[in-house]
């Protein structure tokens, strides 16, 4: 296993704050990050989730732990700023990869607007709804 430490970021917008949607979004985002980066789950170092203040029904770390992920998990509340989009779940995944590997970031279900540098066609988050 390589010792090169890499990190990939991702986010997903939820349609509403329900435990079922948090479960689905957290698992989908983590799976997409692992797949996009070709990461063997045993190479995961940790996953840090953050949620906007309007996501209160369930902790996404609990969601993925219950789904069977065996990796250190943690969740924090996202800082609030004027015009920040609602119902956003973010993830930072640290993993071991090859020395030539480059992290691939994943933004889903409207979260592309959070990173116009990666998704030039996405709308500015201040002007778009999730």
Q: Where are the domains of the chain?
A: 4-114
Q: Does position 99 have pLDDT exceeding 70, yes or no?
A: no
33 pLDDT band, cuts 50/70/90, is very high
Ramachandran bin of 45, using left for φ above 0, alpha for ψ from -120 to 50, beta for the remaining angles: alpha
Q: Does position 125 have pLDDT exceeding 60, yes or no?
A: no
Q: Does position 75 have pLDDT exceeding 90, yes or no?
A: yes
- pLDDT for the residue numbered 3: 72
Q: Does position 49 have pLDDT exceeding 60, yes or no?
A: yes
Q: Does position 11 have pLDDT exceeding 60, yes or no?
A: yes
- pLDDT for the residue numbered 52: 97
pLDDT tens digits for range 79-97 = 988 888 999 999 999 999 8
CATH architecture of 4-114: 2-Layer Sandwich (3.30)
Distance (Å, rounded) from C-alpha 130 to C-alpha 111? 7
């Amino acid at each position: 296993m390589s010792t090169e430490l890499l990190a990939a970021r991702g986010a997903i917008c939820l349609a509403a704050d329900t435990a079922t949607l948090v479960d689905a979004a957290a698992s989908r985002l983590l799976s997409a990050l692992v797949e996009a980066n070709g990461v063997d789950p045993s190479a995961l170092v940790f996953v840090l989730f953050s949620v906007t203040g309007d996501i209160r029904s369930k902790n996404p770390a609990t969601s993925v732990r219950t789904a069977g992920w065996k990796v250190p998990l943690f969740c924090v509340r996202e800082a609030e700023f004027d015009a920040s989009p609602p119902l956003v779940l973010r993830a930072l995944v640290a993993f071991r990869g090859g020395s030539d590997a480059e992290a691939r970031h994943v933004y889903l279900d409207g979260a592309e607007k959070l990173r116009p540098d990666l998704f030039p066609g996405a709308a500015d988050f201040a002007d778009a709804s999730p």
